[in-house]
Amino acid sequence: MAISLADRRLSPPVLLAPLAGITDLPFRNLVTRFGAGLVVSEMVASQEMVEAKPSVRARAELGFGAANTAVQLAGREAHWMAEAARMAEAGGARIIDINMGCPAKKVTTGLSGSALMRDLDHALSLIEAVVGAVNVPVTLKTRLGWDESCLNAADLARRAEDAGVQMITIHGRTRCQFYKGAADWDAIRAVGQAVRIPVIANGDITDSASAREAMDRSGADGVMVGRGAQGRPWALAQIAHDLFGAPAPQIPHGAALAQMIVDHYEAMLSFYGLDLGLRVARKHLGWYLEGADPALRREVLTATDPAHVIRSVTQALPELAAA
């Protein structure tokens, strides 16, 4: 099973969600190596992107030129959204994704992200500006609505399709739910019934069982995995195998797992530099080492010498195998 966006083919239809501070370039590269139909860059503010004129490193971080990467833009003004989309396309972006789902207060206070669901006319003006600015496929990520009294995802999806959006991802919560409660996969079905373009289900999809249930209940064409990939970069490939018959991933164990963790750690240090890299790496190391001896895990997460960290990761493996 695959999803076609113009000349792009997303196969398998298992996508990595954008997670601020987590799905950076080193992590997306790792997930891609195991197998994913699409990975999405961390959200970037459109005006800031244009005015800052992305550096070479920033362009790499956003995934310009990567065949299986969508560059996700956020904003509240059509001019800046269009300019950022043009810049991304000129840099090599293959897909532009519009964020209308972020629930963070610092985003919605600026009338971006999921705040746009309170004003669909304005939301549509941003969509039209982006679609009109580029020749690459444009996709949209959003939520069920602002709150329980404003469940308008199907209306937004219908209008977005008419404006030229080629795929929509729906997180099965409202903005006011943030990440509380359970994602309502059943409610996503109304979006799929409202449009002809592919619909992707998102929210609480962590493994093959939850992915299958989300697909069944939502009627979606694919799934997007976010937090379920933390510490498990092979999770998307496993879902793709179990649901869509993709090749089975080679899930690392023992020395292979240690080498994967070390390679990811060194990639983060190389990309960010030592000081920032050490801080960014801690969250990933923490997820990898869940189940390890607490004292050893604490030692890894507080160490500032990369060689010490690498030795401790290798030492932690017997603990992980027994967990």
Active site residues: 102
Q: How far apart are the first and last CA of the chain?
A: 35
157-184 in b/e form (b: 16+ CB < 10 A) is bebbbebebbbbbbbbbbbbbeeeeebb
C-alpha distances out from residue 143 to 77, 136, 147, Å: 20, 23, 10
- Tokens 């609480």 map to which residue? 204
**Residue 62 near residue 94, CB atoms below 8 Å:** no
Give me the helix-helix angle, 185-194 and 153-163, nearest 10°.
Answer: 40
Farthest-apart Cα atoms in the chain, separation: 57
